[in-house]
Amino acid sequence: MSKEKIEKTILEKAEKWLSSTYDAETRDAVRNMIETNPDELTDCFYRDLEFGTGGLRGIMGAGTNRMNKYTVGMATQGLANYIKKVLPAEKELRAAIAYDCRNKSQYFAQITADVFSANGFKVFLFDELRPTPELSFAIRQLKCHTGVMITASHNPKEYNGYKAYWSDGAQMVPPHDKNVITEVEKIKIEDVKFKGVEKNISRLGEEMDNLFLDEVEKVSVSPGSNFRQADLRIVYTPLHGTGVKLVPAILERLGFENVFRVYKQDITDGNFPTLISPNPEEPAALEMALDKARKVDADLVMATDPDADRVGVAVKDHNDNFILLNGNQTAAVLTYYLLTLWLKKGKLAGKEYIVKTIVTTELIKDIAKKFDVECYDVLTGFKWIADVIRQNEGKKTFIGGGEESYGFMIGDFVRDKDAVTTCAMIAEVAAYAANQRKSIFDILIDIYMEFGFYKESLISVTKKGKAGAEEIQKMMENFRSNPPESINKSKVVLVKDYQTSKETDLVNKTETKIDLPKSNVLQYFTADGSKISMRPSGTEPKIKFYFGVKDQLNSREEYVAVNKKLDEKIEAIIKDMKLR
């Protein structure tokens, strides 16, 4: 294939990467794509990686749309420039950096540290892989002005990423996120200060681990339950990632003596050799842990993703078969447990609140209402939960918050998803239930019987490359301009468009303003209580469709039948919307 097959602007961008500024390996890779693979070249150079809900994330390789030494260096230089611009009077700027188990994570972390140090920052770099929540904690503990976590979270092995944090330990929200991108876009590769200043770099290790675990331990609301159920049988796997050290450590601190490990998955390996994908949202990721659980007759199974900010959970049903909880169910159980225990201990004083994202189950809002606790709805992404905490600092007390994608956070000492603390609390819920001769599954059924049986599901449609991104945009434009009158024979009564900030009541023919930042999310609500949400991913070439339905559960005996009925209802909605 010839150069004529490649768009002129893309070819011009790519040819800049053939200069001596770039290393030989990079130049060879770009030259090979120009000569033999114009489609791959287009995907590598048609855009620059941008900060989405999860920061900078992409496939590793050469190009402006790839994770590599140069995109990481430019992102860090832009971030450093921005910090200097907004804090010109600060005598010592500080940055904390952590990384996960992925291929090149340590390498990218060192590059990030070098660039910050060359820009005069005092840099705190973890000595080994550490979880995302500990990085968030360290930023706050060390009074850093920024921080970076090198991770692609639960994505496949080809990916890596760069999460940028502000001084409160949260990922950046507007205007900072957009302003950092503006700074990055100004930078030429020659501007990046790659040569690190070693004296400006300090290593973080066990001391920070212990400070973090001390705070996690304080979250416990029923420590007596844990010690009465010390023999609770728990299987835990870090899926080759960063949870390998701290999750077992906190479970031991809380008194759990029977924690069984999946040793093949304790091995740190960015190729994830025992997994198709290191995503605890996918049942296949928990297969080895479930096999272990059956062998040891475990009560509870937990799996954390590579950077230990998400957790997948499996519990026994009434037939002693393991079932997987989805993120909505885990969040609902945790919310119910926390509010129940806070009420029992007299800690609800009227200024407490919880937070959920707009695509997360409405069950959480119903639970909060029962306890007379305020519930905030925010856009997808934990940076928005952290933003609510920031706004309420010193005025209200944050109890917990979560989202459907297997993330939860308890207390405000961390400002991002925290699977370490969540694992500790899930184990405590299991112990609390066991003290009442119940299980977590029993508690979930209790919740459904009291508030209604909420059932949620998610499908993702992936469209690769530039053409895929354009196709996703057209899908959203069509749903936005041609909303259905009914879905699965139930009238659409409310439409929420977060891009136009309009909430349209189709029954009363009224419009109200949505008081949240603009986002490309669209929601339909139907007369029978169904909720359908559409959201293109901010970090991946996919569009996600979220489905929520509801029915009554009058007895435990009806669970199987009602569960099946709701599954069928979701499938009918998907079919009616022609999504598969």
Distance CA 216, CA 249 (A): 11
The H-assigned helical ranges of 127-269 are 132-141, 176-186, 206-218, 223-228, 243-253, 263-266
Between CA 490 and CA 492 the distance in angstroms is 7
From the candidates 153, 457, 530, 533, which is the catalytic residue?
A: 153
Q: What are phi and psi of 85, to 5 degrees?
A: -70, -40
Q: Are 281 and 419 in contact (CB under 8 A)?
A: no
Residue 153 catalytic? yes
Q: What is the dihedral of CA 117, 191, 100, 416, to 10 degrees?
A: 80
437 Cβ neighbours under 8 A, 6+ residues apart: none
Bridge partner residues of 503 (DSSP): 496, 512
Cis? peptide before 283, omega within 30° of 0:
no
8 A C-beta contact, residue 546 and residue 458: yes
Could you identify the residue written with the tokens 């940076």?
Answer: 383
Phi, psi of 456 (to 5 degrees): -125, 155
The identity of residue 58, as a single letter, is G
What is d(CA 308, CA 313) in angstroms, rounded to the nearest whole number?
13
Backbone phi and psi for residue 257, each to the nearest 5 degrees, phi listed first: -100, -15
C-beta atoms surrounding 218 within 10 Å: 11
- CA dist 491 and 478 (Å) reads 19
Give the integer Cα–Cα distance in Å for 175 and 166: 12
Q: For residues 51 and 162, what is the distance between their CA atoms, to the nearest angstrom?
A: 9
Question: Which residues are catalytic, by number?
Answer: 153
